[in-house]
Amino acid sequence: MRRKIVQQGPCTLMVSIPKEFCQRHSLKKGDILDLRDCGQFLQAAYHEKEDAKTSALSFSSSTESAIRIAIINSYRCGHSCINVDFKEDNQYNIICTVVSENIMGLEVTRTSNNTCRIESINEPDIDQFQMILKKMIFCISTMITDTVQRLDGKKDFSDYNHLGIKIEKYENFCLRVVATDGRYTASGQFYSSLLSKLSHCSRELYHLNKYIEISSNKIAKSSFAEPLYKIFTLFEGSFFKKSTEMIEKLHQYQNQIIFSQYYKSIASKKGVSVIDHHLACAIRHIHLASSPLMGLILFENQMR
């Protein structure tokens, strides 16, 4: 099917939409089409607005982790209204904390003594996906930089908990978009894996800083701090520059650190300290995150 391009004003080029397509989807003025640049082709798609997805949860225990993963995964599935039954106030307090610290744009309303509703109030638009993913990467970069400076005695990094909460919120929102937005059907596996690996890196650094905070031992410098910073710099560069060459350098450097330096530490009589363990695990997660990043770069190159 061919359409002639017409000019509207000095800069705007326009093309008409086939009548049959408009009738089939009952399109009218103000409706939105998703456009994808596929090289010589321009793909247009119309996604009908869906009613808000609703789910129901019921909790019999006050185990925080069980309540948290149930709510977060319901959110990731795309539910905008979650009705919850609980038995005691302690459970309700946990629900409120989980929503506040792990989810963007949803709020809790108590509807009776033993029920509440979690619903979308000011959730970010799904078109902000790329921006929020970038913010997540910037936050992890800050966490790495400040952790390294803390280990060098140059900074008192007390903000790690707040930063970790922001990273988790960003991760959950991005996974929600990947699971529900049709634009990410083909690339979703790469994004999901990337987000998971980066999140694990963040959690390693969270637990490292928590250990430093409660430890009575003097914090010794680690030989894995600078390699962590260097490897994430390569990862960050490859993400923003879409560079497969930087991923290759990341793999080469990671092999030197993990398969040589870290393994030697494990095999030694002294063993590996708690700090070295968390830093090496963070390095490993960045290395693993480079695989889905490579997939995304190749996928995007193919779609051009």
CATH number at residue 64: 3.30.110.150
pLDDT at 26: 76
Identify the CA nearest to 136 among candidates 151, 124, 154: 124
Per-residue pLDDT of the chain (304 residues; tens, 9 = 90+): 788 888 877 778 888 888 888 877 777 777 778 777 766 677 777 766 556 689 999 999 999 999 999 999 999 999 999 999 999 999 999 999 999 999 999 999 999 999 999 998 888 988 899 999 999 999 999 999 999 999 988 888 889 999 999 999 999 999 999 998 888 888 999 999 999 999 999 999 999 999 999 887 777 778 899 999 999 999 999 999 999 999 999 999 998 888 777 777 777 757 678 999 999 999 999 999 999 999 999 998 887 7
**Helix, strand, coil: what percent of the chain each, to 5?**
60, 15, 25
Q: Are residues 143 and 289 in the same domain?
A: yes
Our count of domains for the chain comes to: 3
Q: Which residues of 276-296 are buried (b: 16+ CB within 10 A; e: fewer)?
A: bbbbbbbbbbbbbbbebbbbb
Asked whether residue 1 is domain-assigned, the answer is no
From 120, 150, 173, give the residue that closes a domain: 120
Q: Are residues 235 and 164 in the same domain?
A: yes
Q: Are residues 287 and 138 in the same domain?
A: yes
What is the three-class DSSP state of 128? helix
pLDDT at 17: 86
Identify the CA nearest to 219 among candidates 279, 263, 267: 279
Q: Are residues 296 and 217 in the same domain?
A: yes
Q: Which residues form the domain of 235?
A: 126-303
Q: Are residues 156 and 205 in the same domain?
A: yes
From 120, 136, 168, give the residue that closes a domain: 120
Q: Are residues 17 and 115 in the same domain?
A: no
Question: Are 234 and 246 in contact, with CB atoms under 8 Å apart?
Answer: yes
Asked whether residue 262 is domain-assigned, the answer is yes
CATH number at residue 232: 1.20.58.220
Q: Are residues 162 and 286 in the same domain?
A: yes
From 90, 120, 150, give the residue that closes a domain: 120
pLDDT at 248: 97
Token pair belonging to 281: 């695990």
Strand partners, 83: 56, 117
Q: Are residues 203 and 243 in the same domain?
A: yes
Q: Are residues 15 and 158 in the same domain?
A: no
Q: Are residues 156 and 298 in the same domain?
A: yes
Q: Are residues 229 and 298 in the same domain?
A: yes
Q: Are residues 199 and 288 in the same domain?
A: yes
